[in-house]
Amino acid sequence: RDCNTCVLDLLRAFPSCQPPLSILLEHLPKLQARSYSAASSTLYHPGKLHFVFNVVEFPWFSRKGVCTGWLQELVTSLLQNEKTEARIETNLTLFPKMSIFVRESHAFRLPEDHSVPIVMVGPGTGVAPFIGFLQHREELRKQMKDSKFGETWLFFGCRHHDRDYFFRE
């Protein structure tokens, strides 16, 4: 039995089964909120929120995540229609409205003592919060020129160097 089998797969396998739409909708599980880590610092990008995602595709599994698939379609169409990323940033009317909420972490944060060195390890899109940490520390260094800052190291990996190396710069 395939644990990835869903109701749609069953309906396709048994075309004579035709339950009313109201019954199907009644038994669908509620979509849960999708969590994404911010890939930016509010000091570095005031008034903006950056995040990163990657659509993982496997040859044996043809579905995309609900939110990630939608984001991919949105970004792909925008990038095809617009010539530069800067132009997209200035024309925010291209984006549909979406509700977001912030879930603050009290344990996963930069140390308050800036002289403490930090070592960060993040695979793939798991590097997102660390990009925000790097930006935040860079901005603090500019604002606090006389302060001592510890060394900052980021190690990360990606599956495909040519496609997944999100923050090459």
Tens-place pLDDT, residues 58-99: 777 767 778 888 888 887 776 666 555 555 555 556 667 777
| Dihedral sign (CA 107, 101, 133, 123) | positive
pLDDT tier for residue 136 given thresholds of 50, 70 and 90: very high
Of 71 and 150, the one with more pLDDT: 150
Token pair recorded at residue 109: 């944060």
pLDDT tier for residue 45 given thresholds of 50, 70 and 90: very high
Token pair recorded at residue 14: 């048994």
Q: Which of 19-28, 49-58, 79-88 has the highest mean pLDDT?
A: 19-28
pLDDT attached to residue 123: 78
129 close to 122: Cβ distance less than 8 angstroms: yes
Which residues make beta-bridge pairs with 156?
Answer: 122
Per DSSP, helices labelled H in 14-115 are 21-27, 66-81, 85-90
Place of tokens 């009313």: 20
CA dist 143 → 16, 47, 71, 115, 139 (Å):
68, 18, 35, 15, 6
pLDDT attached to residue 153: 93
Q: Is the pLDDT of residue 148 over 90?
A: yes
pLDDT tier for residue 6 given thresholds of 50, 70 and 90: confident
